[in-house]
Each structure stands twice: as C-alpha cells, then as structure tokens.
C-alpha cells in the first residue's frame, strides 16, 4: 500500500485534479500572521495561510552498488512528459534514462560519442510534453523524437554565435535563456540590465532579445575584479551578496512568470516582451544586518572551496577573493526561486531569516489567486513537476550518492 505522508517531500492511478480546499476553510483553520500584510486572509494581500501537503511515495531510482542501470554518474536534471515518464539526464554518462511510471527503465537515449544519436558534453536536455528532446551542447543542438530516435543535428559556432545555455522552451519550440556565453558584445542591451533571449533552434536563426530584467546598479570597478596574467593566474572579485534573483518559468499560454525584484513581485511577460500583469504581496524585504552578513560570508566560504576545487586543474589558475571582500545589497530579496507546475500554478520560494533559501513557499495562480503557503519545514519545490501531481527530487546522501525520488501530491490540507 502506498505510503502517505504530510508536509514532506510519492503506483500510478487515473488522472485527477489536485484537491484545493476552499479558502474560507483554510482561513478558519490555518492562517498565520505576516507583519506587513493587512488584507483579508486567503488573499494575496492577507497573512500567510499555512497548508500541509499530503503525498504518496511512487518510486526511487538510484543504486549504491554500482552495477544497475540506475547507478548515476551525475544527475544533471530530471523532466516529466505528458505520459508520466521520467527523463533522467546523466551529464557524466551523456545519456538520458527514460523511466516508466512504475520506476522501471524503458530505454536509454544518447550516450557518449560524436555520431548521430550520440551526445558529447551536453549541457541540458529540454524535454517537450510529447517526450521529444532538444539537447543543448557547446557546439551543437541535437533533436530527438518522442521514441528517442535521432532526428537532426544543428551545428553551432561558439566563436560567432556564442554558447546558448537554455533549460526551457515556449510552446512554439523557441528556447528561452538568460545565458549566452559570447566572445564579443553582440546582442547585449544598450543599457544596464539582465537580458532574456528567445532562440529558435534552426540553422541561421538569430537570437531575439525578449526582455531586459532589472538589476541593481553596478558597483565601481575594482582592480581585483579580474587581475593578474596568464603566467601568474587571475583573481576574481568576491562580488556582491544578496542581489535580487533572476528566475523564470514558462506558463502554458506561452508567457513567462518572472522574478527580478527585491520586493515580492512576479512579472508576467508576453511573447512580445510586454509585461501583461504582476502578482504582488505586501511582504517587505529584510534589511541586511551583521548576522545576515556573516551568514552570507560563511556560505561564500563553502562555495569558494568548491569553486577552487573545480578549477585547480585548469592551465590558467583562477583565484577568488575571500569572503572578507564581499559587498552587500542593503536588503534581502523576498523571493528566492520560482517554478510552474502542470496545473499552471506558480510556486514561489521565499528567503529564510539569514538571506538564503529555506523560507516558506507560496502557491499562487497567474490570475492572482492565492492557494496557500507551505511552511519552511514542509514540502519543498521539486526538481521537476509532472502530470497528475507527480514531483521528482534529486537527492544526495552523505557520500554524495545521488538518487531520484518521485512522489505524488494528493492534496493540500489546512494546518491543524
């Protein structure tokens, strides 16, 4: 019998719509206060309404022994298609494992190599709802059909067009990205900001600037930003901590739900780049104090250690300034991350008390309806959403052995 859990992060069953309890009941049973909210409970202007998630375990893939198909090298990403099949991208093995709703292996797509149907240093697959793939690489894009059959290879010249690093696509197939590694300034906006591009994965197609997201003004240039020489190595600036996040996801109608603000604000961006609406809550950002600064420095020290370990074998050694060199924004951004589930609801992760992730998660709709808030110790936003309430989590144990755990979200219940 499937295991049911509450407020934790899952059997296949007929399709269903996730029960959403009436807000009047939620308000009566589970509202908590937010100091800056003054509206009616159960609305975006009101206090948090805490809901618990009821889930069931579906399956877990990942072997410790090392002799099974699910012995992963490095899980780069996971994706569901409309048939509830899970696509696990192993970036170390350069292949995609297609797993059925019962947790069994259906097929393997790709594999290391240069030939048709093989992958080489792929960065990420984009999986369409029909199960077809657009696999991004540094010098090519490979297209596969829903059955894993190789369709086409599109060469890319990184010296002229740059390297497109995309992780999602609009319903019409155009890729969406905020990361194009360029060797010149082609395509950059004339003024400051963070560009978001649309990229048709076709021969000769040009990248289109969709929208320029907001960013804090730049700090004065410093000689430690990049210094040194090829012989002596380079030193990178520690940079500025607690800057507003840039995160976005695609809605079913082709719009982007986007966060780029210090405050609680989600912008809805149309396919023509216009802002078609905003979703806001009266939750104020935290002022940065010494405790928040020291927590940020400690996180930076851990990240710096990982960074230096990754570049230690490079011909040109890159050093990074220590945590004492960090500068800080004046406020901690309210929103930390954003994802859209298969019911077109927006999951918004709020920051924790030290300025990192780990805060509560709000669930809202593009129309501005407030579904509820998951507590910080409740269900977390998954690595991938799927149909019928499916959610996949990439997890690692103390030995860094990875597994992929799949759960099904059955209901959201009022706390208490």
Give residue 120's pLDDT: 84
Query: Computed from CA positions of residues 69, 122, 127, 349, in that sequence, does the dihedral angle turn out positive or negative?
Result: positive
At 206-218, the pLDDT tens digits run 789 999 999 888 7
Give residue 23's pLDDT: 42
Question: Is residue 361 within 8 Å of 347, Cβ to Cβ?
Answer: yes
pTM of the model: 0.84
Q: How far is CA 153 from CA 126, 127, 143, 165, in A?
A: 15, 16, 6, 16
pLDDT mean over 113-125: 90
Q: For residue 39, which of 29, 30, 52, 49 has the smallest C-alpha distance?
A: 49
The mean predicted confidence, pLDDT, of the chain is 83
Report the Cα–Cα distance between both ends of the chain, in Å, rounded.
25
Strand 208-213 relative to strand 194-199: parallel, antiparallel, unpaired? antiparallel
* pLDDT tops 60 at residue 13: no
pLDDT mean over 54-78: 90
* pLDDT tops 80 at residue 75: yes
Give residue 21's pLDDT: 43
Report the b/e string of 259-284 with b at 16+ CB within 10 A: bbbbbbbbbbbebeeeeeeebebbbe
Q: For residue 342, which of 145, 82, 76, 27 has the smallest C-alpha distance?
A: 82
pLDDT mean over 257-276: 96
Give residue 318's pLDDT: 52
pLDDT tier at 52, thresholds 50, 70, 90: very high
* pLDDT tops 60 at residue 261: yes
Q: How far is residue 385's CA from residue 407's CA, in Å, rounded to a whole number?
A: 10
Query: Computed from CA positions of residues 336, 401, 407, 6, in that sequence, does the dihedral angle turn out positive or negative?
Result: negative
Give residue 388's pLDDT: 97
Give residue 156's pLDDT: 80
pLDDT tier at 370, thresholds 50, 70, 90: very high
The percent of residues above 70 in pLDDT, for the chain, comes to 78
pLDDT mean over 333-349: 97
At 382-409, the pLDDT tens digits run 999 999 999 999 999 988 899 999 999 9
Q: How far is CA 126 from CA 134, 176, 201, 218, 309, in A?
A: 5, 10, 12, 33, 29
């Amino acid at each position: 019998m499937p295991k049911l859990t509450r407020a934790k992060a899952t059997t296949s069953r007929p399709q269903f719509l996730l029960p959403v309890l009436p807000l009047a009941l939620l308000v009566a049973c589970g509202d908590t206060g937010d100091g800056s909210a003054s509206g009616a409970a159960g609305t975006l202007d009101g206090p948090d309404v805490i809901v618990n998630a009821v889930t069931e375990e579906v399956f877990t893939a990942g072997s410790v022994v090392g002799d099974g198909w699910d012995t992963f090298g490095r899980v780069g990403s996971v994706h569901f298609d409309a048939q509830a099949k899970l696509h696990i991208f192993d970036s170390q093995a350069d292949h995609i494992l297609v797993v059925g709703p019962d947790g069994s292996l259906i097929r393997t797509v790709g594999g290391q190599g240069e030939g048709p149907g093989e992958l080489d240093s792929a960065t990420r697959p984009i999986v369409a709802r029909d199960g077809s793939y657009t696999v991004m690489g540094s010098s090519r894009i490979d297209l596969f059909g829903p059955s894993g059959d190789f369709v086409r290879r599109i060469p890319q010249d990184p010296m002229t067009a740059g390297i497109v690093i995309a992780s999602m696509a609009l319903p019409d197939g155009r890729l969406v990205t905020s990361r194009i590694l360029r060797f010149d300034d082609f395509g950059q906006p004339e003024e400051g900001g963070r560009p978001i591009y649309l990229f048709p994965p076709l021969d000769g197609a040009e990248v289109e600037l969709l929208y320029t997201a907001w960013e804090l003004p730049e700090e004065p240039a410093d000689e430690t930003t990049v210094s040194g020489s090829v012989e002596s190595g380079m030193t990178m600036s520690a940079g500025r901590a607690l800057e507003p996040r840039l995160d976005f996801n695609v809605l079913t109608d082709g719009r982007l739900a986007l966060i780029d603000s210090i405050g609680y604000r989600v912008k809805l961006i149309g396919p023509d780049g216009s802002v078609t609406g905003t979703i806001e809550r009266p939750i104020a950002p935290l002022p940065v104090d010494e405790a928040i600064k020291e927590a940020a420095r400690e996180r930076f020290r851990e990240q710096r250690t990982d960074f230096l370990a990754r570049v230690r074998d490079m011909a040109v050694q890159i050093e990074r300034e220590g945590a004492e060199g960090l500068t800080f924004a004046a406020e901690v951004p309210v929103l930390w991350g954003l994802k859209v589930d298969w019911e077109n609801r927006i999951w918004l992760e709020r920051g924790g008390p030290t300025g990192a992730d780990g805060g509560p998660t709000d669930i809202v709709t593009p129309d501005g309806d407030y579904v509820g808030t998951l507590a910080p110790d409740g269900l977390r936003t998954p690595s991938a959403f799927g149909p019928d309430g499916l959610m996949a989590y990439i997890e690692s144990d103390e030995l860094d052995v990875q597994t992929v755990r799949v759960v099904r979200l059955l209901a959201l219940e009022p706390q208490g």
